[in-house]
A and B are shown apart, each in its own frame.
Chain A
Amino acid sequence: MIQVHNLVKRFHSFGREVLAVDHVSFTVSAGEVYGLLGPNGAGKTTTVRMIVGLLQPDAGYAEVHGYRTSQANDAVKARIGLVSAEDGVYPWLSVREMLLFFADLYGVPTPVARERLAPLSELLQLDSFLDRRCSTLSTGQKQRVTLGRALIHDPPVMLLDEPTRGLDVIGSQVVFEYIAHLRRQGKAIIVSTHQLDEAQRLCDRFGLLHQGRLQYEGTLDDLRRLTGRDSLVDMFVGLLGRPVVGPITVSP
């Protein structure tokens, strides 16, 4: 469903070149939750943005549902639901108006979008504020609107970039339930996060990014065997203390 092949991205900052993503490759199948883990600045967000086509890779490519991002960007975008921690809402639109607007952007006819709104608002508990202006919502409510927005066109692929950042326990719980729901729906999901305990509970497979390189990749059991450590947190601590080398992967 998602194929990332040797993605490379360099940024130029004050005359210095920074290698943000360094030949990263992985695949995610339908119904699988892939955790893209790493400390801040590891290249998680950049990788996600390159998959959607919001950033152009310097080398390599990403493929979604058979379409290459660099060549059929609209086809790729149509198949992705993107949730980002920095997502905002339109303050002067009501929640319903905003969701229908995004449905329209993705070419979903309004009657179909209205039908989808009912189960979606039930899942994310939007009912109580569906007709309120977004400017009056709390942070948690806004985040739920964002999760709904990413799902209104019913995409087969979901990219969640730090979906729980800035949320309280209840807010985070909504996100976990949301991801579980997406998995049941058979969607291919990438969750980028640095909250490792959550990731451990949620994800089927993991990619550990450090300084732009994919250091370890595989299921939790694979990683335990590879690193000799039990929890993701321990693996991470070990990773941060270790010099950067090529990816150590276990083929699934």
Chain B
Amino acid sequence: MPDDNSLQHEISATGDSAASNSGSTPTQHRSATGRLARLCLKELRETLRDRRTIVTLVLMPLLVYPLLSILFNKVLSLSGDASQKYECRVGFEAPSKEDGALFEQYFQLAEGVWRIRRTAQNQGANQQPPPSGNRPDPAPEPTIQWWKGPNLEKQVANGEIDVAVFVTRVPSSRPGQQSRSLRLQLLYRESSALSKAGLEYLERRFSAFNEQYLLERLQSSGQRARLPILQQRRVIRDTRPAVSLTTLIPLILILMTITGAVYPAIDLTAGERERGTLEALMAAPVPRLSLLTAKYVAVVTVALLTAVANLFAMTVTLFSTGLGEAIFGVSGFPALLVSQVFALLILFAAFFSAILLAVTSFARSFKEAQAYLIPLMLLSLAPGTISLMPDLKFSGVFSVVPLVNIVLLARDLMEGHVDPALATIAVASTLIYAVAAIALAARIFGTDAILYGSQASWSDLLSRPREYRDTPSISGAMLSLAVLFPVYFLLAASLQRLQWLPTGTRLALAGLVTVVLFALLPGAFTLLQRIRFRSAFRLYPAPFAVCGLAVFLGLSLWPLAHEVFLLNRVFGITTLSGERVQEAEKLLGQLRLLSPALVLTTLALIPAVCEELFFRGYLLGALRQRFSSGTTIVLTALLFGVFHVVVTSALSLERLLPSMFLGLVLGWVCERSGSLLPGVLLHATHNGLLLLMGIYRDQLMDRGWGSQEREHLPLLWIAIATACVVVAGVCLHWLTRNRTPRPPSENAPA
């Protein structure tokens, strides 16, 4: 019977062992990443060869957009239906009353000339072209409502009026005489059909008036004459928030992306069962998560290809039909907007494909999958409509609500104002939900309930494992993370609202929240998933020397952490407003009034213990089963950083880098020592020291020990700190050199 080590080897190269048993050539080790890439390739090959994928990918966009453009054109022309009277508001501004009066006089005359010509045209319409040589305009004309008021330019820009006429008198060529020529500047909005209609209304009349004037002058004397009206067009940008069509476009794209993702999602999950390939797939020694990840990559790729095809077809349609100008103004469908919309579609595809896979993994047939997807579609249309509510602000809570956050982010992006912190939260939470959905799908896909139909009940799917395990499964950890992240965010945001409570009580509450989130919840998950507490949280003893070194590291890390914090400036991350700095100062002032023991317990000790339990115990253990030591440390540090961005107060991106830095060190210490204890000591020492330095800052400054918070530290300090960290690191590495990492013992031999 094989021992532990040979088993690990055999599992990692299963084919080799099987091959060697029957005398085949031994084979080289192949990385899991390479296999995952080949799995993805197979899924993509299979999907892209399927005719039904091609239909949604190519034919749909080719058909849909021309049809939609016809529909839009119809809608736009309907608004100018002859049966409907529409009113155009025109304002004019003249430097003097006299000029104003002359303009009004000219307009009356121009109106008269136009009417006479129209009547003549209508009478001889069938035989003769109109005198001006223009084609008769079939579009009905608006009725003009004159408008007077200050600041016409602004009024045109925000849509209060449609056209503005700025009247000036052309200087006379003869001194002492006043010219009777007017220069008219006509201001309009390119994006507004009504504005353009008003512009053309005025231009037609003034041109007709000019022509009539010239005609009469030529007939009477043959003299050269100056035209009474010189016209000039001027465009103004629309400053009103873009509603309707501009927000409809991302919605249409999102719907089309869903269309692209739905078929492969069903085909690669429920389709496997229906084809009879699922059992063979499940009988292979491949983790379900790998299979699901490959399927996920294929679905996201097809979704993105559909998005690209749609974006391309839409851009071409908008460009070729001129609809782009009607919707977006003179700039058409700008390249920057196209790329922004595409970036958002990537995020959306990543999220929605994961959700689709999670849902379709429950299904045993195509029909069943389709039945599950209908409510999902309806559910996802609801947030789509939210983007049409202009008053809804993209604020804290919405940034963690799935789908709503993407739609609101899309809207803000289209409107050109995005809060980077909120965007980060939205993207991070969306990705966490996607990972959790994949983890859930991996838990369900190919289980005996799905594989063999009614032989197992639905409750079995989410039931507790039969046997105890040492570490949480990666899918279990991702699900826990997906529960923890929004709960954490909401609790942190609620705590912020309790400013009226005494500081001591708020501190105690914050401590309680930390305990619940990072210790009790993971504890509950551990119980539910039948994982041994000791191994799940790495509750092993550590040598005294290692603990001592961890404390030493905790004491010497802060100057480096401070410098990492200042790196934010290099990357241009500055969300710390003066107001927020003041708030922090105020809090520090309040802390100074409290007992240091309470402050240290709630802000240093409790977070150190609980965060270590979750990040370096539960999460690290789960991730370590799938990833290398280095990757696991980086991943947990990243998650640790993300959690600190949303901690307590508003979203401070500045905390990401220093927290990640600390997370990297803590992860490394935990991996080296194999125990949670040194990390807890390091974390508590680091937090405690920083707190004490904040509380006793004035005293330290008096003794010449302090430094300004936002300044670089003296080079000597940094050098000493670096030396200390390096020495401690080398010693710790040396002390733990003989510690063999505990292998995940899920696959113990019989």
Contact = CB atoms under 8 A, between A and B. Distances in A.
Interface of A: 11-13, 49, 52, 54-56, 61, 63, 65-68, 70-75, 77-80, 82, 84, 86-93, 97, 101-109, 112, 116, 133, 146, 149-150, 153-156, 185-187
Contact of A86 (B21, B276, B457): B276
B5 interface: no
Interface in B1-50: 1-2, 7, 10-11, 13-19, 21-22, 24-25, 27-28, 30, 35, 38-39, 42, 45-47, 49-50
Given A108-B15, A153-B19, A90 B46 contact: yes
Given A56-B448, A82-B283, A153-B18, A71 B748 contact: yes
Interface of B: 1-2, 7, 10-11, 13-19, 21-22, 24-25, 27-28, 30, 35, 38-39, 42, 45-47, 49-50, 275-277, 279-286, 448, 451-452, 454-457, 466-467, 747-750
A56 B748 contact: no
Nearest to A77: B285
B7 A75 contact: yes
A77 B750 contact: no
Contact of A102 (B10, B25, B50, B284): B284
7 shortest interchain CB distances as A-B pairs: A88-B276, A78-B14, A68-B750, A107-B15, A105-B284, A74-B285, A92-B49
A73 B50 CA distance: 33
Given A54-B451, A66-B749, A109-B27, A78 B17 contact: yes
A235 B38 CA distance: 50
Contacts of B1: 66
Contacts of A91: 275
A97 B2 CA distance: 34
A98 to B, nearest CB: 9
A146 B281 CA distance: 12
Nearest to B745: A71
Contacts of B14: 74-75, 77-79, 106-107
A79 B18 contact: yes
B274 to A, nearest CB: 8
Nearest to A92: B49
Nearest to B47: A92
A107 B750 contact: no
Given A72-B748, A72-B749, A106-B285, 14 more contacts: A49-B448, A55-B455, A68-B749, A71-B747, A75-B747, A78-B17, A79-B21, A84-B279, A86-B279, A92-B49, A93-B42, A105-B281, A154-B19, A187-B22
10 contacts: A54-B279, A55-B455, A70-B467, A72-B749, A73-B285, A77-B283, A78-B14, A87-B280, A90-B275, A106-B285
Contact of B15 (A90, A97, A153): A153
Contacts of B276: 86-89
A97 B19 contact: no
A55 B280 contact: no
Contacts of B39: 104-105
A123 B467 CA distance: 43
Given A61-B750, A90-B46, A107 B285 contact: yes
B270 to A, nearest CB: 13
A249 B382 CA distance: 66
B18 A103 contact: no
A80 B280 CA distance: 11
A107 B275 contact: no
Contacts of A75: 7, 10-11, 14, 17, 285, 747, 749
B280 A74 contact: no
Nearest to A62: B750
Contacts of A155: 18
Given A52-B283, A93-B45, A103 B22 contact: no
Contacts of A70: 467
Contacts of A150: 280
B467 to A, nearest CB: 7
A88 B42 contact: no
A93 B48 CA distance: 11
A88 B274 CA distance: 9
Contact of B45 (A84, A97, A156): A97
B646 to A, nearest CB: 38
Given A66-B749, A72-B11, A78 B285 contact: yes
A56 B466 contact: yes
Contacts of B11: 72, 74-75, 78
A108 B28 CA distance: 9
A195 to B, nearest CB: 21
B277 A107 contact: no
A102 B15 contact: no
B455 A11 contact: yes
Contacts of A73: 285, 747
A82 B282 CA distance: 11
Contacts of B35: 104, 107
Contacts of B454: 13
A112 B1 CA distance: 27
A93 B749 contact: no
A240 to B, nearest CB: 24
Contact of A104 (B38, B47, B452): B38
Contact of A80 (B15, B277, B283, B748): B283
Given A66-B749, A93-B46, A154-B24, A54 B18 contact: no
Given A92-B50, A103-B15, A67 B749 contact: yes
A91 B46 CA distance: 8
Nearest to A86: B276
Contacts of B282: 54
B286 A105 contact: yes
Nearest to B17: A78
B747 to A, nearest CB: 4
A88 B46 CA distance: 14
Contacts of B466: 56
Nearest to B35: A104
B13 A107 contact: yes
A74 B747 contact: yes
A101 B43 CA distance: 10
A186 B23 CA distance: 11
Contacts of A55: 448, 452, 455
Nearest to A103: B15
Contacts of B452: 49, 54-55
B750 A78 contact: no
B63 to A, nearest CB: 24
Contacts of B2: 66-67
Nearest to A111: B27
A156 B749 contact: no
A66 B38 CA distance: 31
A247 B50 CA distance: 51
A150 B39 CA distance: 18
A106 to B, nearest CB: 5
A55 B446 CA distance: 11
A102 B38 CA distance: 11
Contact of B280 (A49, A61, A82): A82
A116 B747 CA distance: 29
B408 to A, nearest CB: 39
A54 to B, nearest CB: 6
Given A12-B457, A87-B280, A106-B14, A154 B22 contact: yes
Nearest to A65: B21
Contacts of A156: 18, 21-22
B279 A101 contact: no
B710 to A, nearest CB: 54
A68 B1 CA distance: 11
A66 B280 CA distance: 22
Given A54-B451, A66-B1, A104-B38, A72 B750 contact: yes
Nearest to A106: B15
B750 A66 contact: yes
A54 B15 contact: no
A21 B536 CA distance: 35
Contacts of A71: 747-750
Nearest to A54: B282
Nearest to A61: B750
